[in-house]
Chains A and B, each alone.
Chain A
Amino acid sequence: MIETLSVPERRTGTILAILLALMGLAMAAAARHGVMSAHGFMALGLGLGLAFRLGGGLYESEPPKDRMHRYYDAPTRFGIVMTLVWAMIGMGVGVWVAALLYWPEATPPWPATCFGRLRPVHTTGIIFGFGGNALIATSFHVLQRTSRARMADNLSPWVVLIGYNLFCAWAITGYLMGSTQSKEYAEAEWYADLWLVVIWVTYFALYIRTLARRNEPHIYVANWYYLAFILVVAMLHIVNNLALPVRLTVAESFPVWSGVQDAMVQWWYGHNAVAFFLTAGFLGMLYYFLPVRSGRPIWSYRLSIVSFWGITFFYIWVGSHHLHYTALPYWAQTLGMTFSVMLLVPSWASAGNAIATLNGAWHKVRDDATLRFMFVAAVFYGLSTFEGSFLAIRPVNSLSHYTDWTVGHVHSGTLGWVAMIVFGAIYTLVPQLGGKKDMASPRAVEWHFWLAVTGTLVYVVSMWNAGITQGLMWRAYDANGALSYSFVQSVQAMAPYYLLRTIGGGLFLTGAAICAWNCRATMRGAAGQATDRPLVAQAAE
C-alpha cells in the first residue's frame, strides 16, 4: 500500500490513522470495560499500526510520477485478499454451525461458541466480509476500467476498505462477546452502524468522483448496479438501524421501531439486503467479468435497461413476503406477494441476458472453468429467483416459512449465485493483478469448480428435502383430523439432512480453500502492474 502513495498522501494517511487510534482510545476509556472497550482497543491497535507503517515509511521511495496515468489496483488486490480471508472465516463457521445442528454435544461449554452466537458470525462474515469485500474490490476495478479513469484519489479506497473491514471485525467479535441488536443481517451495535455510515459515504463520494472523470460519456450497466448497491444499501442501513443507545458508553441499544412496524422495516431491509447487496452488486460484477472473460458483447442493451429498472423498482416492495400470515396486515402481504411475482421478469431477463451473452462462446464455457463459474452463477441466479418468487406466494410460503426450505433457497442463491460469480471474478482478476497470464494452477481451478458445484447441489437438495419434510410434518393430519406429528419428531427427521448439508458445505469450503491457496500462489512474487491500456485524460461531465 505505502509504495503507491505520495509523501503528502502518506502524511494525510498518518493523520487519519492517528485520528482512528484516538477514537479507539476514547471509546476504550469511556466504556472502561465490556464490548465497547474491546472494540475501542481494536480501533486503537489498528490506528497505531497504520500510523507507524505510514509515518515510519513517510520518506521511503515515492511511486513513479506517471502513476496518475495508470489504474490504481493496490486496493483491489487488498480487497481480494480480504475476500478470501473472510471466505475462510465465514464458510468455516458455516460448516461448523451446520455440524452443530447434527451434533449439538460438540458445543464447547463457553458462551462465545454456541450456535446462537455463531450463526450471525456466519451470516455477517460471509455476506459482509466475503461478499462485501468482493463487491468493493471488484467495483474499484470495474469502475476504473469502464470509465477509463484512475480512481479520484489514492487515499479514500484505503479508507473504505480498511474502515469496512473494521466494521466487519467489530460486528462479529461483538456477537461472540454477546453484543447484538438481533436484527437479522444488521446485528451490529449502534456505534458500528454509525461507523459504517461514515465509510459508506466515503465510498459513494469516491465512486461518484471517479465516475465524473470517466472518458466514455455513457456509464456502463455494471456501474448502474454498483451505484444502486451503494445508494440503496445506505438508505436501508440507516432506516433499519435507527436506535437509541442505552448509554453512550455501552454496546447496547434499543431500535426505535417496535412490533409490527419493526418487523416490516426489518424485512424491508432484510429482503433488500438480498436485493441490493447479494444481487444488484453481484449483477454489476457479472456484467463486467462475463463479457470480459467470454470476449462477447452483452447480448441486449435494451434488456439491460428493463432489468435494471425492474429490479430497482420492484425489489423494494417485496420485503413483506417474509411476513406472510403473521401479524403484519394482510394488505402489505398481498403487495409483497404480487410484486415478488412481477419481480421474476426482470430477474430472469438479467439471467437470460447473461446466458445469451455466452452465445458464440460455448466452447470457452466448456474449456474454461473460470467462465463456467460465471455460467453456473447465472443459472443459479435464475433458479433462486424463480424459487424466491414461488416461495413468496402465500400458500406456498405457509408450507416453507420457518423451515429449512428457506435455508435451501438462501444457499442456492448464495452458494450457487453469489459465491460462484465471486470465484469467477477472482479467477479473472487475480492473474491480471499479478501480471500473470493465468492462475498458478489451472487444474486447481477445475477441481474447485467441481467441488463447488457438487457442494452446492448436496447442500441445496438436502435442505429442500429437509424443509419440505418439516413443513409437511408440521401440518400433517391423520384420518381422524388430529395432528400426526409432534414437533420433536420433525426435529429427529432432520438429522440425515443436517448431516448431508454439513458434507455439502464441507465440499464447498474445501473448494474455497483451494481457491485461496491458488490465489496466494498466483499473487506471490510478481508485483506486476496490470497491463491494460493507459488512460487518456479528459473528463466526461
Chain B
Amino acid sequence: MLKLHYNLEKVSMGLVAAIIVAASIGGIVEIAPLFTIDETVELPDDLRPHTPLELAGREIYIREGCYACHSQMVRSLADEIDRYGPYSLASESAYDHPMLWGSKRTGPDLARLGGKYSDAWHVAHLIDPRSVVPVSIMPSYPWLTRPLDTDLLSDSLATLARLGVPYDDGMIASAAADALAQSRPDSAAMDGFQERYGERPAARAFDGDPSRLTEMDALVAYLQSLGTLTDAPFRTQAEDSR
C-alpha cells in the first residue's frame, strides 16, 4: 500500500484521478437512489403547484432572505409535531425549485403557516414586526408595498414547466393576468383563474387594497399557501396515530 502511494504521489494526473474517484463514490451512492426508490417521494393526488401570485411571493421570500431565519421543515420529532403540526413530507416540496427547508430557526418554522394568521396581521407584521410582537427581532420590510413586477411570471412558469412542474400552456400564457386576478377577486379575470387553478387557492386583496397589485399581495399570498398545497401530511399523521 505504502509503495503504491509512494508511486502515486509522483504522478500528478494519477493523483487527480484518484481524488476524483475517492470523492465521487459517496455522492453517487447517496444521491442517485433518491431518484430510483419510489417511496422517497409519493406524490399525493391533491398536490397543487403554486399559483403565479404565490410563486412571485416565493421569489420575494427568497430575495429578502427569509430562509436565513425561518425553516419550512417540521422534523419528525414529537415536540415539533406538538408545536407546529404534522411533520413535513418530501412530497410537499416536490415542485419546489429550490427547496426552502432552511437550516436556522431564528424565527419559528413556517411550514404550517397558511391560515394561521389573517392577511392584515401579515401586512402589519411585515411592515413593522414590533408593532404586533413587541419582542420580535425580525427586520421590517416597509418597501414591500411597492407594485409587483409581473414581467417575468410567464417565463418563470414556462421554465418550471420544463423542469416538470405541472403548468400547462394556458397557465403559462396568462400568468400575469392570473396573478392580478388572484389579488382582485371581483374582477372579470377571476373566472379564468379558477378554471385553471380551481377553487382551492385563496383569492383576496391580500394587502387589503384591491386597487393595487403589490409585492405584499404576492408575499402574503405565498405565506398563506404554506402547508396548504396538499393535505397529505395531515392524512399521514391521522393514519399513523391510529
Interface residues of A (CB under 8 A from B): 100-102, 104-105, 107, 109-111, 114-117, 119-120, 175, 178-184, 208, 211-212, 217-219, 224, 227-228, 231-232, 235, 239, 244-247, 250, 252-266, 268, 276, 302, 305, 309, 312-320, 322-329, 332, 335-336, 339, 398, 401-403, 406-407, 474-475, 477, 483, 487-488, 491-492, 494, 540-541
Q: Which residues of A contact B133 (CB under 8 A)?
A: 488
Q: Evaluate contact between A244 and B163: CB separation under 8 angstroms.
A: yes
1/0 per residue, CB under 8 A from A, across B51-95: the answer is 000000001001111111101010111010011000111111111
Whether A326 and B88, one on each chain, are in contact in the complex, defined by CB atoms closer than 8 angstroms, is yes
Q: Does residue B101 face the partner (Cβ distance < 8 Å to A)? A: yes
Q: How far is the CA of A183 from the CA of B98 in the complex (A)?
A: 7
On chain A, the residues within 8 Å of B188 by CB distance are: none
Give A316 to B41 CA distance when docked, in angstroms.
24
Cβ contacts under 8 Å, A315 to chain B: 23, 26
Stretch binding the partner chain, chosen from B27-35, B194-202, B205-213, B218-226: B27-35
Q: Is the CB of B77 within 8 A of A325?
A: yes
Residues of chain B within 8 A of A325, CB atoms compared: 75-77
Tell yes or no: B13 within 8 A of A by CB: yes
Question: Interface residues, chain B, CB within 8 Å of chain A?
Answer: 2, 5, 9-13, 15-16, 19-20, 22-27, 29-31, 34-35, 37, 39-41, 59, 62-69, 71, 73, 75-77, 79, 82-83, 87-108, 129-130, 133, 135-143, 152, 155-156, 159-160, 162-165
Could you say which of B12, B22, B31, B82 contacts A264, with CB atoms under 8 Å apart? B31
- Of the listed residues B30, B87, B103, the one surrounded by the most CB atoms of chain A closer than 10 A to its CB is B30
Tell me if A104 and B138 are in contact (CB < 8 A).
yes
Structural contact, B23 and A228, CB atoms closer than 8 A: yes
Pick the residue among B11, B12, B25, B88 that contacts A313 (CB under 8 A): B25
A261's nearest neighbour on chain B, judged by CB, is B34
Given A116-B139, A541-B10; 11 other pairs, CB 8 A cutoff = A104-B129, A104-B140, A114-B139, A179-B63, A224-B19, A244-B162, A259-B94, A260-B41, A475-B77, A491-B106, A491-B107
Flag if A313 contacts B23 (CB, 8 Å): yes
Contact yes or no, B105 A402, CB < 8 A: yes
Contact between chains at B139 and A115 (CB < 8 Å): yes
Q: Closest Cβ of chain A: how far from B149's Cβ, in Å?
A: 10
Closest chain-A Cβ to B76's Cβ sits at a distance in Å of: 5
Chain B residues whose CB sits within 8 angstroms of the CB of A314 once the complex forms: 26
Q: Indicate if the CB atoms of B10 and A182 lie closer than 8 Å.
A: no
Q: Are B156 and A180 in contact (CB under 8 A)?
A: no
Q: How far is the CB of A353 from chain B (nearest CB, A)?
A: 16
> Are B34 and A329 in touch, CB under 8 angstroms?
yes
B155 neighbours in A (Cβ, 8 Å)? 246-247
Are A487 and B130 within 8 A (Cβ)?
no
- Assuming the contacts A259-B99, A325-B75, asked whether A231 and B24 have C-beta atoms less than 8 A apart, the reply is no
Chain A residues contacting B103 (CB-CB under 8 Å) are: 184, 322, 401-402, 406
Contacts of A245 in B (CB 8 A): 159
Q: With A263-B101, A325-B76, A402-B71 known to touch, is A320 a contact of B94 (CB < 8 Å)? A: no
Asked whether B98 lies within 8 Å of A232 as measured between CB atoms, the reply is no
Set of chain B residues within 8 Å of A211, measured between Cβ atoms: 12
CB distance from B83 to the nearest CB of A (A): 6
- Contact (Cβ within 8 A) B97 A256: yes
B88 to A, closest residue via Cβ:
A327
Residues of B within 8 A of A477 (CB): 79
Given known pairs A258-B163, A259-B41, A487-B83, the reply for A219 and B26 (CB within 8 Å) is no
Q: Closest 7 A-B residue pairs measured CB to CB?
A: A116-B65, A317-B26, A316-B26, A325-B75, A402-B105, A327-B90, A259-B93
> Across the interface, which residues of A come within 8 angstroms of B142, CB to CB?
109
- A-B CB contact pairs (8 Å), 11 listed: A228-B23, A231-B19, A239-B27, A246-B152, A260-B99, A261-B35, A329-B39, A401-B75, A491-B106, A491-B137, A494-B137
Q: Is the CB of A120 within 8 A of B68?
A: yes
B60 to chain A, nearest CB (A): 9
Closest Cβ of chain B to A64, distance in Å, is 30
On chain A, the residues within 8 Å of B94 by CB distance are 258-260
Q: Are A227 and B163 in contact (CB under 8 A)?
A: no
> Judging by beta carbons under 8 Å apart, are A115 and B68 in contact?
yes
Given A116-B68, A305-B5, A401-B75 in contact, is the A492-B135 Cβ separation under 8 Å? Answer: yes
Query: Are B66 and A326 neighbours in the complex by a CB distance under 8 Å?
Result: no
Are B30 and A332 in contact, with the CB atoms below 8 A?
yes
Residue B96 contacts which of A178, A181, A259 (CB distance < 8 angstroms)? A259
Task: Give the chain A neighbours of B139 by CB distance below 8 A.
Answer: 100, 104, 107, 114-116
> Chain A contacts of B64 at CB under 8 A?
111, 114, 116-117, 178
Complexed CA–CA distance, A263 and B102 (Å):
9
* Given known A-B contacts A110-B143, A179-B63, A235 and B24 have beta carbons under 8 A apart: yes
Complex: A111 Cα to B103 Cα, angstroms? 23
A104 touches B136 (CB 8 A): yes
Q: Which single residue of chain B is at the shortest CB-CB distance from A184?
A: B103
Q: Are A258 and B97 in contact (CB under 8 A)?
A: yes
Contacts of B102 in A (CB 8 A): 402
A18 to B139, CA, bound (A): 43
Residue of A nearest to B101 (CB): A263
Whether B98 pairs with A219 at a CB distance below 8 angstroms is no
Contacting pair A319 B97 (CB below 8 A): no
Interchain CA distance A36-B22 in the complex, whole Å: 38
Complex CA distance for A335 and B28, rounded to whole angstroms: 13
Are B108 and A208 in touch, CB under 8 angstroms?
A: no
Knowing A180-B63, A325-B75, A406-B103, say if A255 contacts B34 (CB, 8 Å).
no
> Residue on A with the closest CB to B83?
A483
CA distance A105 to B134 in the complex (A): 11
A183 to B138 Cα, complex, angstroms: 21
A116-B66 contact in complex given A231-B20, A312-B19, C-beta closer than 8 Å: yes
Query: Is the pair A101, B106 in contact by a Cβ cutoff of 8 Å?
Result: yes
Min C-beta distance of A484 to chain B, whole Å: 10
Shortest Cβ distance from A475 into B: residue? B79
Cα distance A258–B92 when bound, in Å?
A: 11
Nearest CB of A to B48, in Å: 15
Residues of chain A contacted by B105 (CB below 8 angstroms): 402-403
Instruction: For the complex, give the distance between the alpha carbons of A323 and B83 in Å.
Output: 19
A253 contact set on B, CB distance < 8 A: 159
- A114: chain B residues within 8 A (beta carbon): 64-65, 139-141
Q: In the assembly, what is the distance between CA of A77 and CA of B44, in Å?
A: 58
Which of the residues B20, B99, B141 comes within 8 Å of A258, measured between beta carbons? B99
A488 and B97 in contact (CB under 8 A), knowing A107-B140, A114-B64?
no
